[in-house]
Structure 1
Amino acid sequence: MKVALLSFAHVHAATYIQLLRDRSDIELIVTDPDADPGDPTRGKALADELGVTYRAGYDEALAERPRAVIVTSENARHRTLVELAAAAGAHILCEKPLATTEDDARAMIDACERVGVSLMTAYPVRFHPAFAALRHTLSDGDLGPLLSVHGTNNSSPPALERPWFADPACAGGGAIMDHTLHIADLLDVLLDGEQPTHVHAVANSLLTSSTDGPEVESAGLLTLTYPRGLVATIDCSWSHPATHPTWGGLTLTCVGERALAEFDAFPPLLTGYDTAQAATRWEPAAIDLDAAMLESFLTAARTGQRAHPDGETGLRTLKTALAAYASLHTGQPATITAT
């Protein structure tokens, strides 16, 4: 099956390429025409380093009629590339957030539905076997009615690798846009698509304050209120220093009437001290969530089945992040209208 990857802007692009390039069932082509020609971390230079077939532009790549397309551009460019891929008849996996505005997300969903192709949002954490166990524990009633959920998604600032993450025009925001959505997706799964009615957000930019360009929030805390009275919080901060032993981490704590359950997406397998680097070393448990997500997407593309998490999921979770920005603007909880 032919697969095209469009743009290397996102930090996950190289990871997806490495997972796909050596598969005997995949013919991979890539393109990154928007890259700075002198940037060795993008464009043909990166494609050559990774040993994958490069095409000069999006039109050239899509002219080869790939059955599946992966969009890993800057967030604000997702709509353009998804619409191009849909017009070429490809099933699409789009990096999160699905878009930076609700209108763009809806247009992307509609474009895919018109031609009958799948639109999948890149939420790999839901494929974690420990999260599946948590979901079953909740559905089996072992926790009792769910009262509250606390989620954390913290990392080093991604702008250290890709500066556009700190450009609100390209990214749609800062840490809130970047790190709210994985937790929002897990909540979407646990609550069967139920959306919060209100979102209250507080944030600051103390961790990445700079005079070099637009300032985005680097630390945020969201409080979500649901119709049934459930309250959830999301810590979505870029709070890990560059010297931290891991890039990031994600946890979820679910409090029910009968019991409490905790989920850690990246628990340490081994901890210790690296004498060569004079730093703490942390070896995470070996579960490749990106590989699991890609396998689900490729299966859907082969069979023509609807891929999950789909575009509607991407839109619902995006609305949570957009409501958080509305709340920051007013200082009051923002209301979400159900999709």
Structure 2
Amino acid sequence: MRIGILSFAHLHAEGYVQNLRRISGVEVIGFSDTDPERGRRISQSFGLRWFWTHEDLLAEAPDAVIVTSENAHHREHVAMAAAAGADVLCEKPVATTVADALAMQEAVERSGVRFMTAFPMRFSPAVQALRDMVRSGELGRVLAVVGVNHSENPKRHRAWFAQKALAGGGATLDHTVHLADLYRWIFETEVGEVAAEVANPFDPEVNVDTAGLLLLRLENGIPASIDASWSRPNHYPRWGHVKMEVVGERGTAILDAFAGHLHVWRKGAGRDYEWLGYHPDPAQGMMEAFVRSVRDQSEPPVTWRDGFEAMRVALAAYRAAEAGVPVDPRSLV
């Protein structure tokens, strides 16, 4: 199977190359990127063929592509890939507006290609164990859910994350979608209402939010919250957190998806110490699932609809914060 990468703008692209190279029978044919400095650096670092334009990459007729461009460019690049007949794995959030997301759906359906949203946390063994506990009734009736997704500010690695025109938003958009998707997946329900406070308490130099606090009402009646921020300092020993606390009548389950780690101290190495995770890489499971769907010509396990609904929750948070009243994500059309 021949797979290409459309743009290395997103941080996750580097890890996805390694994930693909671990899968038997997959050839990474190269990547396209119009940023000359980034293109040269990635080509040299990963030994990948660099295509100056996305059209040049797609002219190689890849079986599938990974879209890891800036959020605002997803619509354009997904449409290009679909027109070329390539199945698509698209980085989250799927888009920055409802209109762009719907245009992507139309392009994919018109071309008959497969589309998968990059939600790797569904493939975390810890998350899957929590889902099994909820589904089996081990916790009894669920009374409340608390979710946390923190990280350092990604602008240090990719400046565009803090540029609203390219990112579409800040930490609230970047991090809400993961937990919104997990709530939908674990509890088999939709988000019925969002109240939110969105602010920038951590970086006055940027024009996007660095923190968002959401209160959700799930359609099945469960109250939930999401704490999304770029609050970790640059010297934090790991990238961030995906945590969840599920309170049930029979017990409480606490998830820390990246808890498995070793403390490593390095004298004079910048950071005094870091945490090296030994937990399974959820992105590896996600990539293997995408490759299977392409090989088997089957429906991907995470669909466009999943990405769309999670995106609408994040966009509803911005609308709710601005209006000062709760917003139903489904009203955003």
Quote the residue 2:234 is aligned against: 242
1:14 offset after TM fit, Å?
A: 1.3
Aligned in 2, Cα 1:21/1:137: closer, same or farther, shift over 3 Å?
closer
Structure 2 match to 1:206: 201
Q: Shift in Å at residue 66 of structure 1?
A: 0.8
Cα deviation for residue 330 of structure 1 reads 1.0
Asked if 1:302 is matched to 2:295, the reply is yes
Runs of 5+ unmatched residues, structure 1: none
By how many angstroms is 1:156 displaced? 0.4
Q: Does 1:251 align with 2:243?
A: yes
Q: Which amino acid is 1:30 matched to?
A: G
Percent identical:
41
Amino acid at match of 2:16: Y
1:9-64, Cα deviation, whole Å (9 max, x unpaired)? 000111112332465512212333331x2x2xx11331122101222211111111
- Where do residues 216-235 of structure 1 align in structure 2 (5 Å cutoff)? 216-235=208-227
Q: 1:113 aligns with which of 109, 116, 121?
A: 109
- Residues 160 and 304 (structure 1), Cα distance of their counterparts in 2 relative to 1, 3 Å cut: same
Q: Which 5+ residue runs of structure 2 have no aligned equivalent? A: none
2:191 aligns to what? 196
Q: Secondary structure at the match of 2:150?
A: strand
CA–CA distance in structure 1, aligned partners of residues 275 and 17 of structure 2? 25
* Alpha-carbon distance between aligned partners in 2 of 1:23 and 1:300, rounded to the nearest angstrom: 14
> Which amino acid is the alignment partner of residue 286 of structure 1?
H
Q: RMSD over aligned Cα, in angstroms?
A: 1.7
Q: Distance in 2 between matches of 1:336 and 1:164?
A: 26
Contact 2:260–2:279 under 8 Å retained in 1: no
Deviates most, 228-237 or 275-284 = 275-284
In the alignment, which residue of structure 2 is the partner of 1:18? 18
Q: What amino acid sits opposite 1:282 in the alignment?
A: W
TM-score by length of structure 1 reads: 0.93
> Number of aligned pairs?
331
Quick one: distance in 1 between partners of 2:158 and 2:266? 27
State the match for 1:84 in structure 2: 80
Further displaced range: 166-175 or 19-28: 19-28
Contact 1:32 1:44 in 2 (8 A): no
Which residue of structure 1 aligns with residue 137 of structure 2?
141
Deviation, structure 1 residue 276: 4.0
SS in 1 for 2:274: strand
The aligned residue for residue 29 of structure 1 is 29
Is 1:316 the equivalent of 2:309?
A: yes
**Partners of 2:223 and 2:19 in 1: how far apart?**
38
**Kept after mapping to 2: 8 A contact 1:29/1:55:** no
Q: Deviations over 1:215-253 (max 9, x none)?
A: 111111111112332111001110110011111111111
2:325 to 320, 323, 332: 332
TM-score (norm 2): 0.95
Any idea what SS the aligned residue of 1:313 has?
helix
Tell me what 2:69 maps to: 73
**Do 1:18 and 1:50's aligned partners in 2 also have CA atoms closer than 8 Å?**
no
Query: 2:316 is aligned with what amino acid?
Result: A
Offset of residue 264 of structure 1: 1.1
Match of 2:279 in 1: 286
Is the contact between residue 21 and residue 52 of structure 1 (CA under 8 Å) also seen in structure 2?
A: no
